[in-house]
Amino acid sequence: LKGEYNSSILNNGNNTLKIFSFPTSASPNLCIYDWHEVEYPRWLKTYNDSLLFSFPFLDTLSTLKGVKITNVSSDSIIVWKYGKTIKKYQLFRNSNNEIVFFDTLTNQDKFVLIKGSKVSKPKLYYAKKFDNLRNSQNQADYLAITHKNFLSKSKDYAAFISNSYNVTTKVIDVEDIYDEFAYGYFNPEAIKDFLIATHNNWQTPSPKYVCLIGGATYDYHGNKTKFLNTPPKYNFVPSFGASVSDNWFVTWDTTGAYIPQMNIGRIPVTSEQELDYYMTKHINYVSRISDSWNKRFTFFSGGTGDNQSQLDQLREVNNYVINTFVSPPPVGGNSTHFYKTINPNTNFGPSSEAEFQKTIDEGSVFISYLGHSGTQTWDNSITTPSQLKSKGFGSPLITDFGCSTARFGEPDVTSFSQLFVVSNEGEAIAYIGNSSLGFLSTSLLGPKLFYEKVLKDSVYTISEALKLAKLKMLQSYGSTGVYQLFALTNTLIGDPIVKLPIPNKPNLSISPSDIHINSTNPSDLMDSLTVSFKFYNYGKVTSDSFAVAIEDKVNDSTNFSFSFKKIFPNYLDSIIIAIPIKKKPGEHTLTILFDGDNLIDELSEADNVATIKYLVVGSTIKTMVVHSVENGLGDNLQLINPASRQLSDSLEIEFATNDNSEDSQVLHKPLDTLLTALSLTNLQNGERYWTRTKIAGDETFGSAFSFIKATEQNYLLKDSLAFLKATLTNLQYLNKSLLFDSTTTIFSALSAGFSDGNSASILKNSKNFIPEGTIRAHHVCLFDERTFEFISYRHFDVFGGGTVETNNYINFLNTISNGVIVIIAVSDEGSISSATLKNQIRSLGSKFIDSLSWRGSWAIIGKKGATPGSVPEAFSRTYKGSVRIDTTFYTPNKNGSLLTSEIGPVGKWDSLSVEQLVSNELISSYRPLGIKDNGIIDTLNILAVTNNTADLSSIDAKLYPRIKILSEFSTESDSISPNLSSLSVKFHTLAELATNYQVVSVSRDTLIQGDSLDLKFYVYNVGESPADSFHVLV
């Protein structure tokens, strides 16, 4: 506010200045007092024989005036005039202790009066050697302006920049700029004068990049430290103005359009360690090899949590960038978009916590955030850089065209941009944000213009893309108002020469892990093996095609080869092929090769080939075991002998107690006729074994199967391996039985006062229930203590709302009933003076509510009637950081289910047996799900279980050759669990017809043409079910 009044209304002595806020239709309508300055003419009276004075009310033309100065106590007085002209007066005081003189004066003249004894003589410490920064022989592409504290490390950094980007660099001590452009005084404007001089005086090409290396603050004189006790902050390399603007240094055109003449960025370090950290990060950034990271892009959209229209508006801007620039060629990027929703209330849309963490862990080239933000927070509960830190895959550019996150010049809070770029918890290579408040118009427009320059126009240097985006904005929308503010305060934190590693060439990639064999146990009885594989283009998308060559070898002989052409995918594509394997047992080697003739210019050829080995097992020996793992076997194992004579008439059978065949035992047994029976009596009952067989002398074993030694053959779940093949809901396998597990509910709260992040979040299992965490308030969430379901959210601004808001808060807390969890977190300012309100909060279990200071941080997870000090609570005074609290509730589940894996096919169903707790407090049911040959599943009747056994013989195995068992359990007791230790299904195996060389004979072995012979052969049914009639082909 600024106003003028006639000085005649001032009284000699004390005067009172009052400011009134008149009622208007606007909301809010109040004045918050910060500072005042009153300018008025007064009599020229010295204080301790010193005085500064001027006459701004005079005319610009010189007129003769008389000047009288009173209260002069010394004859040794010096008076100087400066301003338009400089003049020293020889004056003496009169008997009235006055000095009177006459001179021609203007409104530009200024005067200083001082006692001669107070005039100090300069003390010379050293002779300044000027670098002559205006020297016309100077030339550089890249300027690093820094403070002497960082001069040595900055020279190392500049050398790295020169080598990595092929530019000439020059490191400038900011003190040298002051000496040559500001007479040695601290003066931010001198930096602008120096940069203009480099363009006017230096050799061409003129410097293009300016990197300011050092932190800054708008509080040049440290007043907040002096008067508010904030931690001191040093102006290593100052910025200009408040809100601060580095862009002002490079904006000196005369058009008034605020067009930057150079590309500027800042590395706001406050220690050599921070600069070393950034340098190491930058070195790694330019040296990393292109891979999938170079095509990954992450987007966050926020907004006011109860304003659907705004959420849609912000989300659609990021969608526009994705659909227009990221997904289509030539980028073909892999984007992930997390966006805030109202119903359900989420910060990251439909993505699960695991999906969110996977995206963060993998990293991305850039992260685009669009939404509300504070100096150290986004409105989607991202409050620390560590939440977006990847598993070391790469350093992203982060953009936020909203409010305040690039306020690097604040004396009392560290901005997001600083934390992300130069702190150890942040890994960003650069951060684009506003050093002032943002506006909806520019925040919606900024991402579109910037990412158009980067992704469509291929301007990969961050500062250049930002400069061109601003230029287009100014050309299209003018350079006044919010657009002028955006041009000056939208700031790059990071080195302006950094280039985004968007690939400029294609880069095909495939790895062994991308190849998938679609069969767990391929055998040589199969006609072919289906193989699918994914492949990627981690580079630029072109319209070219490339060659694909597929080769399968077995025993070093080519079994299959195929070549064809494919068009470059945007990012990911897949191919399915069938490889013939019938009668091709042994180890196969499958190789997939792209662009074998190197016709495509790629970023890298090293990842164009992938090879895997897989085993096709021989089918010479078969078993009657139905399942891979869920088997129980009695004392005998029957093996069906090979159909044709082999090189040996002896079997090798391997038994192991683990799936990697370590410490296995191999038994040798001669073949019996057609069937070879193996006794298992020497195996230990209840133990699990892995078994595989082969003909003695063969190179490889057949496929393995696993079983538990039991009393009879059946489908058996009796250990963790078998039980975990089933689908468990609210159950866990623990201590050799199935028990109800517990549901874990984690509540957490974050509070950050104005100078420590200015945000709040209240989370249940990582889901934030505060719609807008940057609003100044006590944020309050209520949850049901029994079910932990969300009840309601309110916020109370006890600072701005006065007595009315305080009373509303008191009434709200007073109405909360018992059995409700009350979580409160403060953002900005929430200190309380009302004793009644404090008592209400104490009734929730608070011990520290009296410690909540002005703009401090405080949070509590309480409940009505809790003893003070018995609940999670934390506070922190201003400038001491934010506070986080959490608590975990484990709730025993009282219902659960088990759905077995598929059982069968079988010839006849027999019975179900279980071993479990029998209790009146536990309800158990077992229901078969019948599976027809066409895959249709029918839900059958619940089984009548008596003495832990149920009859299955009524199930028609011809209609349902396969079943699953659905087991459901429930209780009302907290101490009861199913304790299911075993589930088995007894059945008769299918009919299995068999014949082989051992049961076939002919009457003679030599024939004359026209003779006949007798053929004699046997066919056996070695299965457990009758066989119908069958065809015989001789």
Contact 997, 1015 (CB under 8 A): no
- Our CA angle for 484, 457, 361, nearest 5°, is 90
* pLDDT of amino acid 462: 97
* Token digits of residue 863: 């409940």
Q: What is the domain class of 293-494 according to CATH?
A: alpha beta
Helix (H, G, I), strand (E, B) or coil at 332: coil
Amino acid code (one letter) for 328 = P
Q: What single-letter DSSP state applies at residue 271? A: S
Q: What are the tokens at 430?
A: 């650069």
Q: 207-233 burial, b if ≥16 CB within 10 A, otherwise e?
A: bbbbbbbbbbbbbeeeebbeeeebeeb
- Please tell me the predicted confidence (pLDDT) of residue 782: 97
623, 713 contact by CB (below 8 A): no
400 φ, ψ (degrees, to nearest 5): -145, 105
- For residue 76, CA distances in Å to 92, 93, 921 come to 8, 9, 105
Q: Where in the chain is the domain with CATH 3.40.50.1460?
A: 293-494
Per-residue burial over 476-496, b if 16 or more Cβ lie within 10 Å, else e, is eeebeebbebbbbbbbbbbbb
Strand-strand pairing, 110-115 and 99-105: unpaired
| Residue 705: closest CA among 449, 503, 958, 523 | 523
pLDDT of 254 reads 62
400 - beta bridge partners? Answer: 369
DSSP state of 849: G
Q: How far is CA 249 from CA 246, 335, 489, 492, 991, in A?
A: 6, 36, 11, 13, 89
C-beta of residue 624 within 8 angstroms of C-beta of residue 992: yes
- How many helices, marked H, and strands, marked E, lie in the chain? 14, 58
- Amino acid identity of residue 81, one-letter, is K
Tell me the C-alpha distance between 449 and 727, whole Å: 50
Distance of CA 587 to the CA centre of its chain: 42
* Closest-CA residue to 235 (of 227, 223, 247): 223
Write the CB contacts of 56 (distance below 8 Å, at least 6 apart in sequence): 107
Taking a C-beta distance cutoff of 8 angstroms, is the pair 904, 969 a contact? no
- Give start and end residues of each alpha helix (H) in 380-480: 416-422, 440-451, 462-477
Neighbours of 61 (CB within 10 A): 8
DSSP state for residue 478 in the 8-state scheme: -
Give the DSSP per-residue string, 788-813.
--EEEEEEE-TTTSHHHHHHHHHHHH
Cα–Cα nearest to 581, from 548, 550, 553: 553
- Contact assessment for residue 430 and residue 498, using Cβ atoms and an 8 Å cutoff: yes
pLDDT mean by block of 10 residues, the chain; 1034 residues? 83 84 72 79 89 89 92 92 89 92 92 91 82 93 97 97 97 96 93 96 96 96 87 94 94 79 96 96 94 95 89 96 96 95 88 92 96 90 92 90 93 93 95 93 95 96 96 90 92 98 95 93 88 96 95 92 94 95 90 95 93 86 90 93 88 92 90 93 94 87 89 91 95 94 94 90 90 91 94 94 94 92 96 95 95 95 93 94 94 95 96 92 96 96 95 96 97 92 95 92 89 92 90 89
Tell me the C-alpha to C-alpha distance, in Å, between residue 822 and each of 768, 780, 785, 788. Answer: 15, 7, 9, 11
> Alpha-carbon distance 653 to 646, whole Å?
16
1003 forms beta bridges with none
Taking the domain 723-741+894-988, which CATH number applies? 2.60.120
H or E element in which residue 940 lies = none
Strand order in the sheet with 688-695: 665-670, 650-656, 688-695, 705-709, 631-633, 714-717, 982-988, 908-915, 949-951
Q: Which two tokens stand for residue 716?
A: 């058996």
Say how far apart CA 69 and CA 46 lie, in whole Å.
Answer: 7
Tokens of 7: 């000085």
What local confidence, expressed as pLDDT, does residue 57 receive? 83
| Cα four-point dihedral sign 690, 693, 697, 698 | negative
- pTM of whole model > 0.75? yes
Q: By three-state DSSP, how is residue 383 classified? A: coil
Tell me the H-state helices in 912-972: none
**What residue spans in the chain does CATH classification 2.60.40.10 cover?**
508-611, 622-722
Alpha carbon distance, N-terminus to C-terminus of the chain? 108
Can you tell me which residue has the tokens 């994914």? 534
Count CA within 13 A, CB hemisphere, residue 725.
Answer: 20
C-alpha–C-alpha distance, residues 634 and 639, integer Å:
14
Angstrom distance (rounded) from CA 628 to CA 617: 15
What are the structure tokens assigned to 1003, written together?
């009457």
Give the residue range(s) of CATH 2.60.120 domains in the chain. 723-741+894-988
Return d(Cα 195, Cα 143) in angstroms, integer: 9
Q: Does domain 508-611 have CATH number 2.60.40.1930?
A: no
Task: Give the whole-angstrom CA distance, residue 215 versus residue 232.
Answer: 12
CA distance 562 to 579: 10
Which backbone phi and psi does 26 adopt, to 5 degrees? -75, 155
pLDDT of residue 306: 82
Q: Are residues 799 and 806 in contact, defined by beta-carbon separation less than 8 angstroms?
A: no
In SS3 terms, 163-198 reads as: HHHCCCEEEEEHHHHHHHHCCCCCCCHHHHHHHHHH
SS3 state of residue 755: helix
SS3 at position 764:
strand
If you search the block for the tokens 């230790």, which residue do you land on? 981
Residue 358 C-beta-side C-alpha neighbours within 13 Å: 7
Hunting for tokens 């075993």 — which residue is that?
A: 982
Nearest to 967 by CA among 729, 732, 741, 743: 729
**Which residues, 6+ apart, have CB-to-CB distance to 1003 below 8 Å?**
1013, 1014, 1015, 1016
Tell whether the torsion through CA atoms of 428, 434, 440 and 441 is positive or negative.
negative
The third-level CATH classification (topology) of the domain covering 622-722 is Immunoglobulin-like (2.60.40)
The type of residue at 915 is E
Cα 68 to Cα 867: distance, rounded to the nearest angstrom = 73
Starting at the earlier edge strand, list the strands of the sheet with 895-899: 727-729, 895-899, 962-971, 922-931, 937-939
